[in-house]
Amino acid sequence: MPQCVFKTCKNNYRKTNTAVGVSYFRFPSSPLKCAKWASIVAKERGEEFYEPAKNSVICSEHFHELDMIGHASRRRLIGSAVPKLPPLTETSSLVITSKVTNNQEQVQPVYVLTSPIASLADLISVPETPTKRFLDKQLLIARKIVDRKSKKIQTLQKANKTLVKKVDYMKTIIKLLKIKYKNTRQDLLSFLKKRPNCKC
């Protein structure tokens, strides 16, 4: 039974489903977006690399509400949605260490931050790998391309609105000209009929 890929999350289709307001989302088909999701999952799992399987899913509890649209029974993600790391529930545990100084053993209490989802190694930023740097660079390039395309689309939409107004104006002119031509033709025929020896 597929369950959420986050290591500390126990949600799965059988126990928690849409009936209790939990949805599940597969990894994006886009390689760039999929790599972004995978890097977040790898960080939470404490793994250097993570490659999702075909049926790997992430539950809705790891996404912001604004990233999801639709009803609880059928939710969808917006294009820019990325999963968020589970919140740290920080607790302190006391660890007793000993240190020998001047032939006397000194006991020193040391408070170590513990968490159900993170060790001290997880609190240290993981160095970027060449693959991650490459994917981040490609993602940045893709975003710039999308921004340029969006601006171009907006420009074309404005130009299209202007052309539509011009077309409507020309249609009005043509309609008026047709009315004027019809009236002129009728006046001309009436004039010719009134002339003597007219064979109209």
Asked whether 78 and 63 are in contact (CB, 8 A), the reply is: no
Tokens of 89: 């529930």
pLDDT tens for the 200 residues of the chain, in order:
578 999 888 888 887 776 677 888 999 988 888 999 999 999 888 888 888 888 899 988 899 888 888 876 678 898 888 998 876 544 434 444 444 445 554 444 443 444 444 443 444 444 567 777 778 888 888 888 888 888 889 889 889 989 999 998 888 888 888 888 877 877 777 776 766 555 55
Asked whether 2 and 11 are in contact (CB, 8 A), the reply is: no
**Predicted local distance difference test score (pLDDT) of residue 27:** 93
**Predicted local distance difference test score (pLDDT) of residue 91:** 40
Q: Where are the domains of the chain?
A: 1-86, 91-123, 128-200
Residue reference for tokens 């399987």: 53
**Predicted local distance difference test score (pLDDT) of residue 16:** 77
User: Model pTM?
Assistant: 0.43
**Predicted local distance difference test score (pLDDT) of residue 116:** 42
Q: Which residues pair with 44 in a beta bridge?
A: none
Q: What is the H or E stretch that residue 107 is in? A: strand 104-114
**Predicted local distance difference test score (pLDDT) of residue 57:** 92
CA distance 95 to 109: 6
Asked whether 31 and 52 are in contact (CB, 8 A), the reply is: no
